[in-house]
């Protein structure tokens, strides 16, 4: 293929690799990207891939033969078993038109149902869907939080309300999480009037490619009628206490720009690593 890391590296404005998502800046390396290419199409997971907790087979892979690269931009396509093609642009925003045209063509070639372009920049883009990548390190105090419990420890009649909570927040991923409760780490909940009103989880850690311990991303939400009461902040801080107590070195998050989680994380002093933007081809 003749891929050149020294051409791509200067164009990386956000620490993010296709199929792996956001990464700690210290983790980014040509060797890691080579590993991503090596497992493409095999269904195998790299040992530090956060998605391996959800499935026994990797659903997204790099289409290595269709990578396009020169000194000014690198275009790396991925495809999923669900028929979604994503073309990742590492380069100036001025290459977006080229990327959109290339994504549309590749979608036709690979019979993909949808085509999207993903690009990276230091500031948000109001013309696209953008997520802020944020880093939280565990080198400072994270005290315990009263009133937040582990779902498996609450009374049975309260735990049973998690299903209704999950249905109401299905769009935030809780219906999926509810179907996997027996196979993942603990979920932390806030309870009001004997019902689950907010939740964050699963709480799990995983070593990253250089041996640091990463607190994995969680589903996080509060019922609409219970927002504005501080439950979200208490859940977040309880999760950070759990991470510190379980040896996490850091956590990476993607938050929708301007959303409640984004505002919360910004107010909690997380480190801003840039923006991942996406739009249809």
pLDDT tens digits, one per residue of 1-32: 579 999 999 999 999 999 999 999 999 999 99
Query: What's the mean per-residue pLDDT of the chain?
Result: 95
- Find all residues with CB under 8 Å of 139, minimum gap 6, and list them: none
Residue 117 confidence (pLDDT) above 80: yes
Please state the pTM of the whole predicted model: 0.93
pLDDT of residue 111: 96
User: Maximum distance among all alpha carbons in the chain?
Assistant: 61
The sign of the dihedral angle between the CA atoms of 172, 178, 183, 185 is: positive
The CA distance from 50 to 32, in Å, is 14
Asked if residue 74 lies in contact with residue 102, where contact means CB atoms within 8 angstroms, the answer is: no
Average pLDDT over residues 243-253: 96
**139-248 is classed CATH 3.40.1400.10:** no
Average pLDDT over residues 225-244: 96
Q: Percentage of the chain surpassing pLDDT 90? A: 91
Average pLDDT over residues 124-132: 84
For tokens 């690593």, the residue is 273
For tokens 């880093």, the residue is 135
The CA distance from 189 to 242, in Å, is 13
For tokens 């290419």, the residue is 37
Q: Could you tell me the residue ranges of all domains in the chain?
A: 5-132, 139-248
The CA distance from 37 to 139, in Å, is 33
pLDDT of residue 128: 79
Residue 126 confidence (pLDDT) above 90: no
pLDDT of residue 140: 81
Kindly give the pairing relationship between strand 213-215 and strand 250-256.
parallel
Residue 246 confidence (pLDDT) above 90: yes
Which of 21-25, 59-63, 119-123, 195-199 shows the lowest mean pLDDT across its residues?
119-123
According to the 3-state scheme, what is the secondary structure of the chain? CCCCHHHHHHHCCCCEECCCEECCHHHCCHHHHHHHHHCCCCCCCCCCCHHHHCCCCCCEEECHHHCEECCCEEEEEEEECCCEEEEEEEECHHHHHHHHHHHHHHHHHCCCCEEEEEEEECCCCCCCEEEEEEEEECCCCCCCCCCEEEHHHCCHHHHCCHHHHHHHCHHHCHHHHHHCCCCCCCCEEEEECCEEEEEEECCCEEECCCCCEEECCCEEEECHHHCCCCHHHHHHHHHHHHHHHCCCCEEEEEEECCCHHHHHHHHCCCEEEEEEEEEEC
Residue 215 confidence (pLDDT) above 90: yes
pLDDT of residue 1: 58
For tokens 């530090």, the residue is 48
Q: Structure tokens of 13?
A: 């404005």
pLDDT of residue 127: 73
């Amino acid at each position: 293929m003749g891929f050149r890391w020294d051409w791509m590296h200067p164009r990386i404005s956000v620490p993010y690799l296709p199929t792996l998502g956001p990464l700690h800046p210290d983790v980014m390396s040509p060797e890691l990207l080579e590993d991503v290419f090596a497992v493409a199409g095999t269904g195998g997971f790299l040992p530090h891939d956060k998605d391996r907790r959800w499935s026994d087979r990797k659903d997204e892979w790099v289409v290595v033969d269709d990578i396009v690269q020169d000194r000014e931009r690198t275009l790396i396509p991925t495809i999923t078993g669900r028929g979604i093609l994503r073309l990742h642009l590492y380069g100036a925003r001025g290459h977006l038109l080229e990327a959109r045209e290339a994504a549309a063509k590749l979608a036709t070639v690979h019979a993909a149902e949808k085509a999207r372009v993903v690009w990276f920049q230091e500031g948000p883009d109001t013309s696209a869907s953008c997520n802020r990548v944020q880093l939280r390190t565990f080198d400072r105090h994270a005290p315990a939080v009263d009133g937040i419990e582990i779902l498996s420890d609450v009374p049975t009649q309260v735990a049973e309300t998690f299903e209704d909570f999950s249905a109401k927040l299905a769009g935030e991923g809780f219906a999926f999480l509810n179907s996997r409760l027996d196979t993942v780490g603990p979920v932390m909940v806030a309870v009001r009037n004997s019902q689950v009103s907010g939740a964050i989880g699963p709480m799990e850690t995983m070593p990253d490619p250089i041996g640091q311990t990463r607190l994995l991303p969680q589903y996080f939400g509060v019922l609409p009628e219970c927002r504005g009461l501080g439950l979200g902040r208490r859940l977040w801080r309880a999760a950070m206490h759990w991470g510190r107590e379980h040896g996490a070195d850091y956590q990476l998050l993607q938050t929708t720009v301007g959303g409640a989680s984004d505002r919360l994380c910004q107010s909690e002093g997380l480190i801003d690593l840039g923006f991942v933007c996406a739009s249809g081809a």
